[in-house]
Amino acid sequence: MYLFLKRVLDILVSFITIIIIFPFFLVIIIILKLTAEGEIFYFQERIGFKNKKFLIWKFATMLKNSINMGTGSITLRDDFRVTKIGKYLRITKINELPQLINILKGDLSLVGPRPLVQNDFDAYSINYRNKIYNVKPGLTGIGSIIFRDEELIISNVKDVDPHSFYKREIAPYKGELEMWYQDNRSFRLDLLIIFLTAWTILFPKNRLHEKLFKDLPKRKFK
């Protein structure tokens, strides 16, 4: 019943949201077409349900071939590869909205672990890689809320390779968080995470998740 309700919620919310924000979509499409390199959408291969790959939809926010430039799959704050309009789209998370199409297609759910590129997925331990996508990946999730500004977290670490820091500190903690979600997942938890996602967009520095979920794994780094 939970999975049925979850899929119904996915379809209803994504379909209704696409209809409501379609005029806004058109504005963003026009702006992107007339700025930077004229790219509108960015399609990237991600790891999905049962570790099967799929193409994720995003509004283009970075230079072409950015994956082979700079820090690769890791984006830093004020990254030179991010376009001017792209910076705004990333901070507000508007660049993620085309993933509503992925939800309609069934690639994603509203709530679940974020689908990663292969390189970042490989940063997980083998135990987490075998389990993390036993549930469908999501547009948002507990990891997305806690790592609301992952770019800033990595950028603030000095004299350390970003990929090494991600593998040593961020990936293990994300793995713990996603296992916590799998152990506790329910329709109520999904609704709370959706609410917290909206709340975090409005109030980025809030710690409401700590009050609602007192048994969350503890973060071991600053």
- In tens digits, the chain (222 residues) has pLDDT values of 999 999 999 999 999 999 999 999 999 999 999 987 888 999 999 999 999 999 999 999 998 878 888 888 888 878 889 998 989 999 888 999 999 999 999 999 999 999 999 999 999 999 999 999 999 999 999 999 998 888 888 888 877 888 888 999 899 999 999 999 999 999 999 999 999 999 998 898 899 999 999 999 988 776
Q: Which helix (H) or strand (E) holds 109?
A: strand 109-111
Please report whether residue 218 resides in a domain.
Answer: no
Please report whether residue 133 resides in a domain.
Answer: yes
Please report whether residue 102 resides in a domain.
Answer: yes
Beta bridge pairs of residue 201: none
| Cα dihedral: 151, 132, 54, 141 (round 10) | -50
Q: Would you state the pLDDT for residue 209?
A: 92
Range of the domain at 87: 2-212
For residue 129, what are the contacts with CB-CB under 8 A and spacing of at least 6?
51, 121, 122
Query: How far from 62 is each of 82, 96, 148, CA to CA, in Å?
Result: 4, 13, 19
Domain count, the chain: 1
Beta bridge pairs of residue 44: 56
Q: Would you state the pLDDT for residue 129?
A: 96
Please report whether residue 135 resides in a domain.
Answer: yes
Task: Report the chain's C-alpha Rg in angstroms.
Answer: 17
Q: Which helix (H) or strand (E) holds 44?
A: strand 41-47
| Cα dihedral: 126, 139, 103, 48 (round 10) | -10
Beta bridge pairs of residue 56: 44
- Say what the pTM is: 0.89
Q: Would you state the pLDDT for residue 78?
A: 81
Please report whether residue 62 resides in a domain.
Answer: yes
Q: What CA–CA distance (Å, rounded) separates 152 from 11?
A: 33
Please report whether residue 29 resides in a domain.
Answer: yes
Please report whether residue 219 resides in a domain.
Answer: no
Please report whether residue 19 resides in a domain.
Answer: yes
Amino acid at 77: R
Q: Would you state the pLDDT for residue 182?
A: 96
For residue 4, what are the contacts with CB-CB under 8 A and spacing of at least 6?
none
